[in-house]
Amino acid sequence: MTDMRRTLLWVVFTMSLVLLWDGWNKHTGQPSLFGPTSRPAAGAAAPAQPSGTAPGSVPAAATIAAAAASSPAVGTPPVAGAPVAAPSRTVTVTTDVLQVSLDARGGDVVRAELLEHMDPNDPSRNVLVFDRSAERVYLAQTGLIGAPGLPNHLTPLELQSGETTLAPGRDAVSVVFESAEQGGVKLRKTLTFTRGDYGVKVRHEVINTSSEPVSPQLYTQLVRDGNPPPGESSFYFTFTGPVAYTDAAKFQKIDFGDIEDGDARFDKAADNGWVAMVQHYFFSAWLHTDPAPREFYTRKVDNNLYAVGQIFPLGSIAPGESKTFDNLLYVGPQEEKKLEALAPGLDLVKDYGWFTILSKPLFWLLDQLHKILGNWGWAIVALVVLLKAAFYTLNAHAYKSMAKMKAINPKVMEMRERLKDKPQQMQQEMMRIYREEKVNPLGGCLPILVQMPVFIALYWVLLSSVEMRNAPWIGWITDLSVRDPWFILPLVMTATTLLQTWLNPTPPDPMQARLMWIMPMVFSVMFFFFPAGLVLYWITNNILSIAQQYLINRRLGVS
C-alpha cells in the first residue's frame, strides 16, 4: 500500500511538471503537447481537394476553393510587411450589440465587433470576432455553385436598400445586396439585424433570368486563419478551430492540422446540422435548422487559412421563377442558455471536454445561485460550499483516516529508523502497525479520487463560461475571467494549500515527505496565471477542507 501511495504521488507530481512544461512551450511559441497547432504549408497556395461532392454537381468544395484562391483579398492571408489588398466598398451596420462590416464583393461579413464585450488585452476596444486585417483573417461567406458563372462570394453586388444603423424604437434593420444577371440567374442577399440579438438572418433569393431551368447549390462557409486568438493563455488550453454537428455524429471538433494534412474526420452529408468556428468564449456559426439535404466540407484555402462550410441543393428553378433559402449567421458569446434555443447541440460549442455530463448540471446550479446572489464571485463560493456539504460524509472518512495516520506517524518513523537496513522486515512491521491501529493507508486517497471528476468538471465550467468575463467579485477583483492583478488570491491559495499539507500526515518516506511540500509550490506557479474565478474556487475549497480536517484532528486528539 505504501508503494501504491508513492506511485499516486509521483503520478500527480509528474503530470504537474508536464503541464508546466506544456504551458512554457505555448508561451514561447512551441507546439503544445496536447492541443492542435496550426501548421502553415511552405510555398504557394493551392486549392484543396474536395471533401465530398454534392449529388449531380461539379465537385463542390473544389469549386469554392478555386474561386477563393483567385481572390487576393480573401484567398490569400496578409503577411507581415505586405499591404492588404484593397477591398471593394464596405457597408457598416450598427445595432445595440453588434457593429458589422459587409463587403459589397459577395456580401461577405468581414468584420464583427461585439459592443458589449471588452477586449481583455485593450480595455479601450471591444472584442472582434470577424476581421480582415494585416493581423487576422476571419470571414463569413456565401455564394452559388453548380453551374459555370453563378454569383459567388467574389461577385460584386449592388447595395439595393437598407439603413445602416438600428434607430431608437426600431426592432430590426435590413441590408439588401443584389448581383447582376450572371450564369442565367440573379442573386439577392438580405441580411437582417435584430435588436439585442447576435444572430443575423441571411436570406438568399435566387432568380432564374434564363430560358432554361437551373439547379444551383448554395454554400455557406466560415474562413479563418489557424492562429490562436490574441491574448490566449499559455497555462491552460482551450480549443480553437472548426466544428461540425449532426444528429447522428453529434459534436465533432476538427483540428486545423487535420485539415492541413487532408485527414479531417466528420460526417460529410446529412439533412440536419450546422458548422461553426469556435474559440475561447466566442464563436460564429451558420445555422439552418429546418430538415434539408446538405454536404459538409472543410478545405485549406491558402497557407494557414482554412474553411468549414455547408452546401445546400436548391432544386430546380424554372425560367422566370425564384427560390428563397434562409440561414442564420450567429456571431457572439457562448451563452449556454441562449444557444440551447437556437439549434440542437449548439450549446456544445461551450467546450467542457470529457466532463460535459457533469459540467452542464454544475453550470445550471451556478446560474441559479447567481440569480439569487447577483454576483458570480459569491455564486462560485456558494457552489463550492454546497459541493463540500454534499461530500461531507465522504470527506470525513478521508480526514479521519489522515488523522489516524498522523497520530501513528511517530511510531512508524521510529520503526523505519530502527529497521532501515531490513526493508522486508520494515514492510511487514509497517503492515502490522496499520492492522493493529485499524488504519488504511489509502483511506485518505480514495474518497478524494471519487470527488476529483466533480471538481475538475467545475474547473471547466469556470474556465469556459463567458459569463465570468468582466464579472466583478469584491474590491480589486473586477473581472473573474482574468488573473488577479495584484496576485493576492494566488498567494492566499498557496498559503492555504501549505496549511492543508501541514494538517495531513507526513509520509514516512523522506522522498514522499519532500514531495508533499514541493507539489503545492509547483501548483502555485500555475495558479498565478489562472483566471481569478478559478483561483477563488480553489481557495474556497481549501478553506473548507482545512476547517473540516482541523475539527476532525481535534476530535481525535491529533495535533
Do 261 and 341 share a structural domain?
A: yes
Q: Is 42 among the domain residues?
A: no
Q: Is 2 among the domain residues?
A: no
Domain tally, the chain: 2
Q: Report the CATH number at residue 300.
A: 2.70.98.90
- Please state which of the ranges 47-56, 249-258, 452-461, 514-523 shows the lowest mean pLDDT: 47-56
Neighbouring-strand partners of residue 287: 274, 328
The answer to whether residues 404 and 439 touch, using CB atoms and an 8 Å cutoff, is yes
% of the chain residues with pLDDT over 90 = 55
Per the model's pLDDT, the better-predicted residue between 238 and 112 turns out to be 112
Do 332 and 264 share a structural domain?
A: yes
- Over 60: is that where the pLDDT of 97 sits? yes
pLDDT level of residue 438 (50, 70, 90 thresholds): confident
Do 310 and 374 share a structural domain?
A: no
Do 513 and 459 share a structural domain?
A: yes
pLDDT level of residue 48 (50, 70, 90 thresholds): very low
Separation of alpha carbons 225 and 300, rounded Å: 10
Q: Is 224 among the domain residues?
A: yes
CA 231 to each of CA 26, 82, 228, 279, 335: distance values in angstroms, whole numbers, following the listed order: 12, 24, 8, 12, 21
Do 321 and 415 share a structural domain?
A: no
What pLDDT score was predicted for residue 421? Answer: 83
Q: Is 355 among the domain residues?
A: no
- Over 50: is that where the pLDDT of 52 sits? no
Q: Is 26 among the domain residues?
A: no
Given 316, 350, 384, the domain boundary residue is 350
Do 174 and 52 share a structural domain?
A: yes
Separation of alpha carbons 378 and 380, rounded Å: 5
Do 300 and 163 share a structural domain?
A: yes
What pLDDT score was predicted for residue 147? Answer: 92
Contacts for 8-14: CB closer than 8 Å, 24+ residues apart: 8/445, 9/507, 9/512, 9/515, 9/516, 9/519, 10/515, 12/519, 13/515, 13/518, 13/519, 13/522
Return phi, psi of residue 469, to 5°: -65, 130
Do 257 and 201 share a structural domain?
A: yes
The answer to whether residues 149 and 170 touch, using CB atoms and an 8 Å cutoff, is no
The whole-number average pLDDT for the span 38-56 is 33
Separation of alpha carbons 487 and 188, rounded Å: 55
Given 305, 328, 350, the domain boundary residue is 350
What pLDDT score was predicted for residue 344? Answer: 95
- Please state which of the ranges 16-25, 150-159, 502-511 shows the lowest mean pLDDT: 16-25
What pLDDT score was predicted for residue 448? Answer: 66
What pLDDT score was predicted for residue 410? Answer: 79
- Please state which of the ranges 59-68, 283-292, 481-490 shows the lowest mean pLDDT: 59-68
- Over 90: is that where the pLDDT of 556 sits? no
DSSP state of 402: H
- Over 60: is that where the pLDDT of 77 sits? no
What pLDDT score was predicted for residue 27? Answer: 42
Neighbouring-strand partners of residue 194: 172
What pLDDT score was predicted for residue 67? Answer: 47
Write the pLDDT tens digit of every residue in 338-368. 999 999 999 999 988 788 899 999 999 999 9
Q: Is 11 among the domain residues?
A: no
pLDDT level of residue 291 (50, 70, 90 thresholds): very high
Residue 545 corresponds to which amino acid? S
What pLDDT score was predicted for residue 262? Answer: 92
Provide the residue range defining the domain that includes 345: 48-79+91-350
Do 370 and 412 share a structural domain?
A: yes
The whole-number average pLDDT for the span 508-522 is 71
pLDDT level of residue 40 (50, 70, 90 thresholds): very low
What pLDDT score was predicted for residue 524? Answer: 75
Do 237 and 194 share a structural domain?
A: yes
pLDDT level of residue 392 (50, 70, 90 thresholds): confident
Do 436 and 318 share a structural domain?
A: no
Write the pLDDT tens digit of every residue in 139-150. 999 999 999 999
Residue 477 corresponds to which amino acid? I
Q: Is 226 among the domain residues?
A: yes
Q: Is 30 among the domain residues?
A: no
DSSP 144-164: EESSTT---TTSB-EEEE--S
Q: Which residues contact 264 (CB under 8 A, 6 or more apart)?
A: 51, 254, 255, 258, 298
Write the pLDDT tens digit of every residue in 458-507. 889 998 999 999 999 999 999 999 899 999 999 999 999 888 878 766 66
Write the pLDDT tens digit of every residue in 220-235. 999 999 998 877 766 6
Do 374 and 341 share a structural domain?
A: no
Question: Nearest-CA neighbor of 204 among 231, 229, 184, 185?
Answer: 185
Given 326, 350, 374, the domain boundary residue is 350
* Model pTM score: 0.80
State the residue for C-alpha cell 438600428: 166
